[in-house]
Structure formats: structure tokens, C-alpha cells
A and B are shown apart, each in its own frame.
Chain A
Amino acid sequence: MDLLNLILLLMLAGFAMMAVFLKDLLKAAISLAFMSALLAVLLYRLNSPFAAVFELSVVAGLITVLFVSVIAMTKEEEQAKEARWPAYVFPLVLVVFGLIDIRVMQALFANTPQGFGNPEASFGATLWGVRSLDIIGQIAVIFGGVFGVLALLREKPLTVKQKEDAIIAKDGGKEKLW
């Protein structure tokens, strides 16, 4: 295994832990963005440049912007108090899970047969040919997401009384409405 890939994997795990345990939500979101950027580098090194570009632009870029804007919109006076015990228990649980993880993964993937793939295939032919039906699913999911957000963030239209109250509140009742 490449040493640089191992370092990238370790840094991925480190940033993931920072995203979980940092109390400041903004710093946690930025750690997540760094994690996405590192994952993009790793994907590029694992011979998957197109997935790396998507990971970098969409996940590290767009999702981070979404997170940061929502954090800015939902600044609360008293933040939800996190329990302290998860941070103290985590190292012990991580070691136990790590030991089980190593055993299980070695049992599952030690003898994975190496494939050779199709040497004549290209990414374009695979995405638009073999996996073309996925595109329809992607379009459906995008529209589902857009309409989901629109449905959740819609506001009740103001009544005439509420509009009058809003105008009076704005100019202090100096102007006549009608």
C-alpha cells in the first residue's frame, strides 16, 4: 500500500473525529469540508478522477456552503448542550471496534480476487451506456430535493390585516393606507 494513501486515510479519520467532537459547529463543518477535499485527493489517487471532481466540487463545495449558511441562520443563544461522556468513552470504544473491524475485514477481503475490467471501456460509455438508467434516477432525485426544499420553506401568505400591520410598523402609521 502506498504510504501517501495511508497518510491520507489517517488524516481522513482525524478530520472525521474533529468534525464529531469540535463544539463549534462552524469549525465542525469546515473539518467536514477538509475531509471531503482529502477524500477527493484519495479518489484521484485510486484511479477515479471523475468521482474525485464531483466529490471536490459538490460535496466539499456545495454541501459546505449549505452547512455554513444554515449554521449562520440558526444561531441560538443557548446551544444544545452535548453530553460529556461520549468524548471520554470514544477512545475505548474506538479501540474495541478497531480490533473487531480488523478481524472482520481481514476475513472478508483478504482473498478478494483481482479483476481486470474491460480494457476497451471508457467512463463516458459506462455512464451514458451501461448506467444510463441511473441518469433518470438522478434527475428524479434532483427534482425531489428541489421541490422538497421548496415545500419545507414555503410561508403562509399574509392576510390584508397582517399587511396593514406590517406597513404601520414600518412607517410608524404616518401614511394613510387607502
Chain B
Amino acid sequence: MVVTYFIFVGLLFFIGLYCLLTSRNLIKLLIGLEIMAKSAVLSFIVAGWARGESFVSQSVVITFIVIEVSIVAVALALVINVFKNTGSLDIRNLAKLKG
């Protein structure tokens, strides 16, 4: 049943969101973002599969994966810069940014 897949989509999204809201480590935050992205991928594919239009959903997912990789690469570069400047991956160290 399609509903079961979407229940798991919601659960995965929630796990990723929980990680984003509660973690302090920058890499963990990115992992949370990745989990949310995976739930979005699953949602697209299940929708396409249920409607019998999997080619369109696959095309959208491939575009989404390309965007995801670019975002992760740029975000990890930012993480490296933050680590060089603060010597830590703690997100709370970024709360006192001065211009």
C-alpha cells in the first residue's frame, strides 16, 4: 500500500529534522539534512510508482541528487573553513560572529 511508504517518508523526515534541531556538531547537522533529502527522494519515487509515471519521477530525482551533491560539497567546504577558524565543529561557536 502506498500509505505505508508515505508513513515511512514522514518518519525519515522526522528523524532528519530531529537531528537538525538537537545536534551541535556541524557534520551531524549535515547528516540530518541528508536523511531529510533521502525521505524526499523516496517520496518522489513512491509517488511516481503509484501513479505509473516512474520515468518523470526518476528524472526529477536525478536532478535532485545533483543538487544534493552540490549542496553537501559546498556545506562541507564551509565546515572545513569553520574548523580552520574556530578549531571546533560546535555550532554554538558560530553564535558570536563579529563582522
Interface residues of A (CB under 8 A from B): 1, 5-6, 9, 12-13, 16-17, 19-20, 25, 28-29, 32, 35-36, 39, 42-43, 46-48, 50-51, 54-55, 58-59, 62-63, 66-67, 70-71, 73-74, 76, 78-83, 86, 90, 93-94, 97-98, 101-102, 104-106, 108-110, 112, 114-118, 121-123, 125-127, 130-131, 134, 137-138, 141-142, 144-145, 148-149, 152-153
Q: Judge whether B3 and A109 touch: CB under 8 Å.
A: yes
CB-defined contacts of A131 to chain B, threshold 8 Å: 56, 59-60, 63
Once A48-B48, A109-B2 are accepted as A-B contacts, the answer to whether A73 and B63 lie under 8 Å apart by CB is no
Nearest 10 CB-CB pairings of A with B: A145-B70, A115-B51, A117-B52, A80-B90, A86-B22, A126-B55, A152-B77, A101-B10, A148-B74, A131-B59
Once A78-B88, A83-B24, A117-B54 are accepted as A-B contacts, the answer to whether A144 and B70 lie under 8 Å apart by CB is yes
Closest CB-CB distance, A47 to chain B, in whole Å? Answer: 5
A117-B25 Cα distance, complex, nearest whole Å: 44
Q: Judge whether B35 and A19 touch: CB under 8 Å.
A: yes
CB-defined contacts of B67 to chain A, threshold 8 Å: 138, 141
Interface residues of B (CB under 8 A from A): 1-8, 10-12, 14-16, 18-19, 22-28, 30-32, 34-35, 38, 41-42, 45-46, 48-63, 65-74, 76-81, 83, 87-92
Interchain CB contact (< 8 A) of A101 among B14, B31, B42, B53 = B14
Once A90-B18, A141-B70 are accepted as A-B contacts, the answer to whether A70 and B3 lie under 8 Å apart by CB is no
CB-defined contacts of B16 to chain A, threshold 8 Å: 16, 20
Q: Judge whether B80 and A39 touch: CB under 8 Å.
A: no
Interchain CB contact (< 8 A) of B8 among A12, A32, A59, A142 = A12
Interchain CB contact (< 8 A) of A153 among B2, B69, B81, B88 = B81
CB-defined contacts of B88 to chain A, threshold 8 Å: 76, 78, 80
